[in-house]
Structure 1
Amino acid sequence: MAKIRDIDLGDFPLLLAPMEDVSDPPFRALCKKNGADLMYTEFISSEGLIRDAVKSVKKLDIFEYERPVGIQIFGYDIESMKRATEITEQTNPDIIDINYGCPVKKVACKGAGAGILQDIPKMVRMTEEIVKTTKLPVTVKTRLGWDDNSKHIVEVAERLQDVGIEAISIHGRTRKQMYKGEADWSLIAEVKNNSRMHIPVFGNGDIDSPEKAVEYKNKFGVDGIMIGRASIGYPWIFNEIKHYQKTGQHLPKPTIKERVAVTREHLEMSIKWKGETLGIAEMKRHYTNYFKGIPHFKDYRTKLVTSFNLEEIRAILEEVEVKFSGVETLV
């Protein structure tokens, strides 16, 4: 049973990873509906929160139906991170999560995200100060290390636990790897098997099928799995994993009708949350994923990503539903 303080996540929770420009409220709502047990917001800049930047503040939006939900913050300055924690706490999330894993150059090279993996003492100090600043449980998302010569995650996880974090999610790559190569879960297992660790340890990286999720659960013994890229355009993955874990059977793949219905729902929620112009623009990255593996779909994909007219997009989706009804997807 995985618990973060008094938040009961069940026997083997599936977490939605925080993903920039993806894990917004509309997407989280769909993942929740399809079996995600705990979700995190897109990462939010501590400096942006302090300056009251519109984009950063907007990311604090959370809704009752998505609980439990964690808000993830990042930054390089300890005082700024403490202030951002106070601002975040006022929006009443269930958890505050610290991003120590983002590998993107503009974040990491400023010493935030995965950049702090080059300064473990500062990472520990920052974490301790954040824990002291809030009454909420604090969790951490991080990587194995900065590069192959600094994979100190077993020691780092223990030190972070000692200053008060209540769960850790570990992406099985270094910052240098970015998202390339295979994720190394053996070190995540070492963290979990460290006899001094008593907080939940969640694994992240490369889980893209029910089989792999169950294999990694059994092989590496983690308390739960965090899923990122495999959920983009495919929120069904959470329930598919749960069903396979319980029965050893696969759920049927979503039909074209179901894919169109979820795309429509995502689009309408996106517009409701962001307004029509931005809502339509930001859906474009999702269309390719929702209709991935459908043969001869290229023309429709082009129409969807080039249209800025809501009625036209609705009409295209209707046409897709009729034209591709009964077509098996390739993935």
Structure 2
Amino acid sequence: MVKIANIELGEFPLLLAPMEDVSDPPFRAVCKANGADLMYTEFISSEGLIRDAAKSVQKLDIFEYERPVGIQLFGSDVETMGECARIASRVNPDLIDINYGCPVKNVACRGAGAALLQDIPKMVRMTEAVVKATHLPVTVKTRLGWDDSTKNIQEVAERLQDIGIKALTVHGRTRVQMYKGDADWTLIGKIKENPRIQIPIFGNGDIDSPEKALEYRNRYGVDGIMIGRASIGYPWIFNEIKHFLKTGEHLPVPTVADRVAVCRQHLDFSIRWKGEKVGIFEMRRHYTSYFKGLENFKPFRSRLVVAESHDELLSILNEVQEHYLGELVG
């Protein structure tokens, strides 16, 4: 049984990665329903939360059905991150996660996210401030290092464990790599081999099939896997991996009817959470992913992304289901 502090996650948990503009409550709802064991909010700016910025505060929304769920924070100031952890703890998540992995310029160039990989002493101070500021378990997500010459994740793992984090997720790329090239899990495996490391170690990067999940579990010995991009438009991946690990067999590929049903659920939750106008607008980014692989889908997509009412969208989705009746995708 893998545990983060007292949170039981099963024998080999599958985690939904925190993804900006993706991992909101509607998306988390469909991933939870399809097998995700632990989920995280989109990352929340500590400075935005301190200023009570509406976008940052809204990201604190969590729901009972999605537990266990963690709130992920990022920032560049040690004291602000501590205060931010106190604020986030008030909404009673199951844990607090610190983002030391985001590679995008407007985060890293401000001294947050993956930028902390260039200043390990500051990373340690910041983590310690967060640990001291909350009664909740604190976890960390990061990368191998800043670049190929500074792959310091083994040192980072020991130092962060020593100051009290309860789990570590490592993305198998450096910051300089961004999301290019193949993720290298070699150092993740070496962390697991370190007898000093007692906390769960989760691997992240390029897991997009049940076969790869099995291969990486066996090769690198990780306690679980975090899945990000492969779940966008395909929340079934969690249950597919679980079934394959247990039986060695594949679940049936989702039909178009399955995809339409989950897309409807996602849309309905988006509207309930954000209101019809914003909910419909923010759902537009997901249609291509839900129906990826369907031949000649572009005309339907063009209509879905301009539709302005719930009823109109449901009508188009019904047309999609009827048009591709019985087809499999993937």
2:274 is matched with which residue?
274
1:31 is matched with which residue?
31
Show the 5 A alignment for 1:163-182. 163-182=163-182
Give the letter aligned to residue 167 of structure 1: A
| 2:75 maps to 1:75 | yes
Q: Is the 8 A contact 2:254 2:328 kept in 1?
A: no
Q: Note the alpha carbon deviations across 1:166-224, whole angstroms, 9 max, x for none.
A: 00000000000000000000011011111100000000000000000011000110000
Give the letter aligned to residue 174 of structure 1: T
Deviation at 1:306, TM superposition (A): 2.2
> What CA distance in whole angstroms lies between the structure 1 residues aligned with 2:306 and 2:206?
31
Q: Is the 8 A contact 2:276 2:309 kept in 1?
A: no
Deviation at 1:27, TM superposition (A): 0.8
Give the letter aligned to residue 261 of structure 1: A
Q: Note the alpha carbon deviations across 1:93-136, whole angstroms, 9 max, x for none.
A: 00000000000100001110001111110001110111011110
Q: Is the 8 A contact 2:100 2:140 kept in 1?
A: yes
> What CA distance in whole angstroms lies between the structure 2 residues aligned with 1:300 and 1:77?
46
Deviates more, 1:237-246 or 1:305-314: 305-314
Give the letter aligned to residue 163 of structure 1: I
> What CA distance in whole angstroms lies between the structure 1 residues aligned with 2:271 and 2:246?
36
SS at match of 2:305: helix
> What CA distance in whole angstroms lies between the structure 2 residues aligned with 1:284 and 1:193?
44
2:96 is matched with which residue?
96
2:283 is matched with which residue?
283
> What CA distance in whole angstroms lies between the structure 2 residues aligned with 1:162 and 1:74?
21
SS at match of 2:139: strand
Q: Percent identity?
A: 70
Deviation at 1:83, TM superposition (A): 0.8
Show the 5 A alignment for 1:44-63. 44-63=44-63
Give the letter aligned to residue 149 of structure 1: S
1:134 is matched with which residue?
134
1:219 is matched with which residue?
219
1:298 is matched with which residue?
298
Gaps of 5+ in 2: none
Show the 5 A alignment for 1:205-244. 205-244=205-244
CA RMSD in angstroms, aligned pairs only: 0.7
Aligned residues between the structures: 330
> What CA distance in whole angstroms lies between the structure 2 residues aligned with 1:167 and 1:234?
26
SS at match of 1:219: helix
> What CA distance in whole angstroms lies between the structure 2 residues aligned with 1:293 and 1:188?
33
SS at match of 1:303: helix
Gaps of 5+ in 1: none
Deviation at 1:309, TM superposition (A): 2.7
Deviation at 1:310, TM superposition (A): 2.3
> What CA distance in whole angstroms lies between the structure 1 residues aligned with 2:158 and 2:273?
39
> What CA distance in whole angstroms lies between the structure 2 residues aligned with 1:154 and 1:306?
48
1:159 is matched with which residue?
159
> What CA distance in whole angstroms lies between the structure 2 residues aligned with 1:173 and 1:305?
34
Q: What's the TM-score, normalizing by structure 2? A: 0.99
SS at match of 1:168: strand
SS at match of 1:289: helix
Deviation at 1:298, TM superposition (A): 1.3
> What CA distance in whole angstroms lies between the structure 2 residues aligned with 1:36 and 1:173?
23
